[in-house]
Chain A
């Protein structure tokens, strides 16, 4: 038996024409599209069904907080893609630094969301207030959970990247993070902007 190190086949084969790690990430994204897409499609149907009643409810969401969170996530996505660029150039330390900024912005997003939840629940708009609020807390809560999971994974990837290890993972977590950003881009007009309709 040879002592030469052989990388695991699963991480090196490219029968599909792209690295297995990236292929796996795209599969995750595809399954997430169905999860969030199903929620959004159901929300749109009921929004059309209960137009005026839900429009009244939607007026109680905080537009400025939603807009701030959109800005925060877009900025975090910008740092994530810059981290990918740095990782491809072999600059692990710069990539790690940019990933840490992405994590911090993820934290800001969750803090704003926590503020929103608190003020809405205190005002009487809890998850059981009515169907609109059930949709609101399910969709934004599930999205917030994905932000939290993304932050944890970003932490592990940044730790490795700082040592110059596993730099290919920076792109994979970037794809996931951008997807989370895209989901918010759709949730924002649904829950915050279209309240006048």
Chain B
């Protein structure tokens, strides 16, 4: 983006309306999807409507509201590097969290999800 020149601003109202339409789809999509009997279809529909559309909304805000579409390549690279490290974090840690056993460890088969008593829970 050139420092000295003014931006040619897109129609922000149009972008805003599109964002609201996408928001409506991301709310109602999973609600309708929950009525599906097929587990695979249900998960796919929820992931697509909730997270897929969320990613599109985030991309629209970044591109047009933050003007990333016309920002310097250096800035885009900076952000991509950050996202790369997040993927690296996931790839490095996920096996320890998700796999039942590893080279030097084995998960306890009797493991139960820890439930901490909450003192703020009202007496029934």
Contact = CB atoms under 8 A, between A and B. Distances in A.
Contacts of B26: 188-189, 193
A130 B42 contact: no
Interface string B91-124: 0011001100000000000000111101111100
Interface stretch (A1-9, A76-84, A147-155, A156-164): A76-84
Given A80-B65, A186-B54, A124 B113 contact: no
B16 A74 contact: yes
A124 B122 CA distance: 7
B123 to A, nearest CB: 10
B62 A75 contact: no
A26 B75 contact: yes
B54 A196 contact: no
Contact of B30 (A70, A71, A194): A194
B83 A196 contact: no
Contacts, number: 150
Contacts of A181: 61, 65
Q: Find the residue from A48, A75, A189 having the highest chain B CB count within 10 A.
A: A189
Interface residues of B, number: 56
A74 B50 contact: no
A82 B20 contact: no
Interface in B17-49: 19-20, 23, 26-27, 30, 33-34, 42-43, 46-47
Given A78-B16, A188-B54, A124 B9 contact: no
A54 to B, nearest CB: 9
Contacts of B16: 74-75, 78
A33 interface: yes
Contacts of B50: 189, 193-194
A14 B3 CA distance: 8
B12 A34 contact: no
Contact of B94 (A45, A88, A122, A126): A45
A45 B98 contact: yes
A185 B83 contact: no
A37 B89 CA distance: 10
Interface of A: 14, 16-19, 23, 26-27, 29-30, 33-34, 37-38, 41-42, 44-46, 48-50, 53, 63, 67, 70-71, 74-75, 77-78, 80-82, 85, 88-89, 121-126, 128-131, 174-175, 178-179, 181-182, 185-186, 188-189, 193-194, 196-197
Instruction: Give 4 closest A-B pairs by Cβ, nearest first.
Output: A124-B121, A189-B50, A37-B86, A193-B50
Given A49-B97, A129-B116, 4 more contacts: A26-B71, A81-B64, A179-B66, A185-B54
